[in-house]
Structure 1
Amino acid sequence: MAKPDAVFIYIGTYPTEAAARADYDVVKDLRAAGAVGTYDAAVVTKDDGGKVHVNKDETATRHGAWGGAAVGAVVGILFPPAVIGAAVVGAAVGGAGGHLWRGMSRADVKELGEIIDDGEAALVVVGESTLTRALDKAALKAEKHVAKELDVNPKDVDKAVREAAGDVS
């Protein structure tokens, strides 16, 4: 059972970027329907050379409270900077990443980082624990997936993102 004040990470893998984008659209529809609270999501691809690319729908990012920082923080934790193909996000990764890192065991990091094979795409969703039930009901089409609930309060991640953005209200 999901804790009400926890951060949830979902990573599902797909044979193509288009398949991952289809489930990304499902997640956006869940938000539009009010089925999920604060979240951040992106399609991540790993090319045949092992380089990781984060692909965000910028319109969706502007509407998300975490504005790309949560997925960027997860990608930054899971993959060394040498394999990340593009700038993920700005300064918010540091603060949000620190909170998420403390909520993960080394085994979690290893399991999450190894799920994406070269040449595959993944949907990465990070958000409040309300995502757990919503994603289960949505029946996403991932070939394989890993879902983890972290012992991290979403309010702490939100605060780190606001501070990094210069909004300390």
Structure 2
Amino acid sequence: MAKADGTFLFIGTYANEASARADYNIAKELHAVGAVGSYDAAVITKDDDGKVHVNKDEQSTRHGGWGGAAAGAIVGLLFPPSVLGTALVGGAIGAVSGHLWRGLSRSDVKELGDLIDSGEAALLVVGESTLEDALRKAGLKAEKEIAKHLDVSTRDMDEAVRQAADEVS
């Protein structure tokens, strides 16, 4: 059952990017029909050289409310900069990372980071606690998944994103 004002994190792995993208589109549809509040999502792939790539549909993140900062912050926590094939820089990601780090243990970070292997894809979705029930009911097709409640208030996340956006603009 969802917590009243917490942040929910879902990471699922898929055999390929197309399968992950199909579930990504389901998350976008859930937001479009009002089933979830603020959220951010990304499809993550790891190439044969071990580089991690974050694939986002920028329009969906704008509608999600957190402007891409939440998913970027999670990826930045899970993978060292040396394996990131995409530059994840900016004040919003740094500000949000601090909030998310308080909600994850070191073992959580290791478990989440180890979930994706070369040649596979992952879907990362982070958002309000309403996300948990909506994703469960939607029947996502992940081969493996990890779902975590983070002890981080969505109000705190909203404020961190707002402050960071003000600093960047």
TM-score tier by shorter-chain length is over 0.9
Equivalence for 2:65:
65
Equivalence for 1:4:
4
Number of residues of Structure 1 aligned to a counterpart in Structure 2: 167
Equivalence for 1:81:
81
Equivalence for 2:105:
105
**How big is each residue's C-alpha offset from its partner over 1:124-152, in whole Å with a ceiling of 9 and x where there is no partner?**
00001100100000000111100000111
Matches within 5 A, 1:111-150: 111-150=111-150
How far apart in 2 are the matches of 1:16 and 1:44?
10
Contact 1:24 1:42 in 2 (8 A): yes
Q: TM-score scaled to structure 1, two decimals?
A: 0.96
Equivalence for 1:33:
33
- Cα offset, 1:157, TM superposition: 1.0
1:93 aligns to 2:96 (yes or no) = no
**How big is each residue's C-alpha offset from its partner over 1:68-106, in whole Å with a ceiling of 9 and x where there is no partner?**
000000000000011111123521011100000011111
Equivalence for 2:54:
54
Per residue, is there more helix in 1 or in 2?
A: 2
In structure 2, the gaps of 5 or more residues are none
How far apart in 2 are the matches of 1:14 and 1:22?
10
Identity value in percent: 68
Equivalence for 1:158:
158
Aligned partner of 2:101: which letter? Answer: W
Contact 2:40 2:66 in 1 (8 A): yes
- Cα offset, 1:62, TM superposition: 2.0
- SS at 1:70's partner residue? helix
Contact 2:42 2:56 in 1 (8 A): yes
Q: TM-score scaled to structure 2, two decimals?
A: 0.96
How far apart in 2 are the matches of 1:157 and 1:94?
12
How far apart in 1 are the matches of 2:132 and 2:62?
23
Q: Please, what is the CA RMSD of the aligned residues?
A: 1.0
Aligned partner of 2:134: which letter? Answer: A
- SS at 1:166's partner residue? helix
Aligned partner of 1:51: which letter? Answer: K
- Cα offset, 1:107, TM superposition: 1.2
How far apart in 2 are the matches of 1:65 and 1:21?
20
Aligned partner of 1:13: which letter? Answer: T
How far apart in 2 are the matches of 1:86 and 1:109?
19
